Amino acid sequence: MAEALSVTSGELKPVSVPLCPLAMASNPEKELLCIFGTGDLGRSLGQRLLQTGYKVVYGSRRPHSCGPLPQGAQVLSHEAAARSTSLIFICVHREHYGFLETLAPQLKGKVLVDLSNNLKKDIYPDTNGEYLQRLVPGAGVVKGLNTLSAWALQNGPLAGKQVYLCGDSGEAKQAVTEMATRLGLSVLDKGCLSAARELEDFPLQLFPAWRLPLCLAVCLTAFFFFYLLIRDVVYAYVEQDKDISFRIMVSLANKVFPIVSLIMLSLCYLPGVLASFIQFYRGTKYSRFPNWLDRWLLCRKQIGLLALGFAFLHVIYTFVIPIRYAVRHKLISRVVDEMKNNKTTPFDFDNTEAWATDSFFALGILGFFLYVLLGLSSLPSVGGALSWREFTFIQSKLGHLTLVICTAHGYIYGWNKFLRLSTYKWWTPPGYMLCLVVPSVVLVLKLLLLLPCVDRSLTRIRQGWERSEPGGGSGETRATEL
């Protein structure tokens, strides 16, 4: 498979396998790879390579005292190890690359895979990969696979995992790609060695795709928290001289969470609607969207999952209501009050109220159920088992249905309150009104897109058709392609 790795096995003694030395030695076709460094990464990598059917030799400064190594691997001095094979993994900290300069003659023409990572960004002027190439100019340095950790190599399957590499030598990259493919990895070539900066920054990232959605969630939560704090707690304290600060922990949180959840859910579907309008306006699907829209489209999944998180919190907060001290106290004092004052008003059962609250709950439950379904289909293993049409059906049809139901849940909540003046404390609208703006806009826009004439145009545009410009029929050609 990997002809480029012709092993110069002249110098190498037969690999000493503890248990069945004869049998293994009789199998001369296995390729030999070399690993410099016997740390966690070196050992885990060696074990994987042995499992995949390679022979492995370690290069070590002290071949006779380098701790436990995978069964079946051999240890030699750096020099001897370098001479025995054509592909060498460098599993050593950059600080200690110095010794490689002295090995330059032995490393000439070899493929060096630099797997090193730094602890922080930008602590060195040049990247580890370029530094290594400068030290050993005669070797083909390939920077890559550095997203593989010792932990990932020891646990679980590598199959299908995407790794990156870069380097100036095409042959060297080819050799590494073949080795990585045999390990089950999926390799993406990032170009010349100058791309090493990007590769070395990968493992230092912490949830990069979540940064924007998390920012958004925190901002929305903070805004609505303070808005409602002022409207509810501060207002009661100032105007009615009541201390209801205890409400912050549960009541207020249980107002903020559903509001943020609904807004996030609608923000998850807004960019798709905007993109459709842009396509419809431009009459083609081949021109790029503005950058902000591209970024927004790419983090829809994260926005949706955060919305689900907030909905989950909202649901649990709601279930806790009846066991709260304040709620029980209110219930008891209300009864006692009624009895003492002999009022009978509350005992008239209000059928409309019963319908409204029960519908409110039923819609909320249904919405949450669909929310959970959407979340489940976002699990890599579930989503991966769906066909494209099924995934679209769930994320688009079910998604918009969820938005409709949750928005209706919000509308019913305030169905009889928005006309009362007392709702507008200090002339501010209540939170649930604010939170209904974005979803309502999204739903109206989506409805416009579903109008037959718009829908027909859009379907044609998405199949590759382009609205004919005055210039000519270039739309025709495009429309031929899948």
Chain residues 327-356 in contact with a copy of itself, contact rule CB under 8 A: 328-329, 331-336, 338-339, 346-347, 349-351, 353-355
- In angstroms, give the least distance from the CB of 352 to a copy of itself: 9
384 contacts a copy of itself (rule: CB under 8 A): yes
Show contacts with a copy of itself in window 192-231 (CB under 8 A). Answer: 192, 202-207
Residue 401 DSSP SS3 = helix
In the list 16, 25, 451, 467, the residue contacting a copy of itself (rule: CB under 8 A) is 25
Which one of the spans 59-67, 267-275, 413-421, 446-454 is the region binding a copy of itself (CB under 8 A)? 59-67
Which residue number, 102 or 357, has a Cβ lying nearer to a copy of itself?
357
379 contacts a copy of itself (rule: CB under 8 A): yes
* Number of shown-chain residues binding a copy of itself (CB under 8 A): 144
- In angstroms, give the least distance from the CB of 281 to a copy of itself: 19
Read off the tokens for 102: 């002295």
* Torsion, CA 253, CA 255, CA 259, CA 264, rounded to 10: 20
362 contacts a copy of itself (rule: CB under 8 A): yes
C-alpha span between 34 and 75 (Å, rounded): 9
Which one of the spans 154-162, 228-236, 417-425, 430-438 is the region binding a copy of itself (CB under 8 A)? 154-162
Binding mask 251-290 for a copy of itself (x = CB under 8 A): --x--------------------------------x----
Q: How far does Cα 362 stand from its chain's mean position? A: 32
In the list 5, 12, 49, 92, the residue contacting a copy of itself (rule: CB under 8 A) is 92
- In angstroms, give the least distance from the CB of 93 to a copy of itself: 6
In the list 212, 234, 372, 398, the residue contacting a copy of itself (rule: CB under 8 A) is 372
Asked if 112 contacts 138 with a C-beta cutoff of 8 angstroms, the reply is: no
Which residue number, 151 or 226, has a Cβ lying nearer to a copy of itself?
151
63 contacts a copy of itself (rule: CB under 8 A): no
Instruction: Count the alpha carbons within 13 Å of 5 in the hemisphere toward its beta carbon.
Output: 22
Residue 158 DSSP SS3 = coil
Cβ neighbours of 313 (radius 10 Å): 17
Compute CA distances 203 → 146, 207, 290, 298, 309, whole Å.
7, 10, 29, 20, 26
Cβ neighbours of 319 (radius 10 Å): 9
Asked if 147 contacts 164 with a C-beta cutoff of 8 angstroms, the reply is: yes
Max Cα distance, the chain (Å): 105
In the list 10, 26, 120, 123, the residue contacting a copy of itself (rule: CB under 8 A) is 26
Show contacts with a copy of itself in window 424-443 (CB under 8 A). Answer: none
Q: How far does Cα 291 stand from its chain's mean position? A: 19
Write the DSSP symbol of residue 343: -
- In angstroms, give the least distance from the CB of 169 to a copy of itself: 5
Binding mask 112-131 for a copy of itself (x = CB under 8 A): ---xxx--------------
Which residue number, 3 or 241, has a Cβ lying nearer to a copy of itself?
3
- In angstroms, give the least distance from the CB of 444 to a copy of itself: 27
Q: What angle do CA 433, 438, 439 make, to 5 degrees?
A: 90
- In angstroms, give the least distance from the CB of 97 to a copy of itself: 9
Which residue number, 30 or 448, has a Cβ lying nearer to a copy of itself?
30
389 contacts a copy of itself (rule: CB under 8 A): yes
Instruction: Count the alpha carbons within 13 Å of 229 in the hemisphere toward its beta carbon.
Output: 11
In the list 361, 415, 424, 426, the residue contacting a copy of itself (rule: CB under 8 A) is 361
In the list 124, 277, 289, 391, the residue contacting a copy of itself (rule: CB under 8 A) is 391
- In angstroms, give the least distance from the CB of 428 to a copy of itself: 25
In terms of C-beta distances under 8 Å and separation of at least 24 residues, what long-range contacts does 3-10 make, across chains too? 4/86, 4/171, 4/174, 4/175, 4/178, 5/31, 5/33, 5/85, 5/86, 5/87, 5/175, 5/178, 5/179, 6/86, 7/31, 7/32, 7/84, 7/85, 7/86, 8/83, 8/84, 8/85, 8/86, 9/84
Residue with tokens 């092993």: 7
Which one of the spans 77-85, 109-117, 216-224, 273-281 is the region binding a copy of itself (CB under 8 A)? 109-117
- In angstroms, give the least distance from the CB of 184 to a copy of itself: 6
Phi, then psi, of 478 in degrees rounded to 5: -60, -40
Which residue number, 34 or 41, has a Cβ lying nearer to a copy of itself?
41
Cβ neighbours of 198 (radius 10 Å): 14
Show contacts with a copy of itself in window 459-478 (CB under 8 A). Answer: 463-464, 474, 477-478
Sign of CA dihedral 196, 198, 202, 206: positive
137 contacts a copy of itself (rule: CB under 8 A): no
Which one of the spans 79-87, 216-224, 388-396, 450-458 is the region binding a copy of itself (CB under 8 A)? 388-396
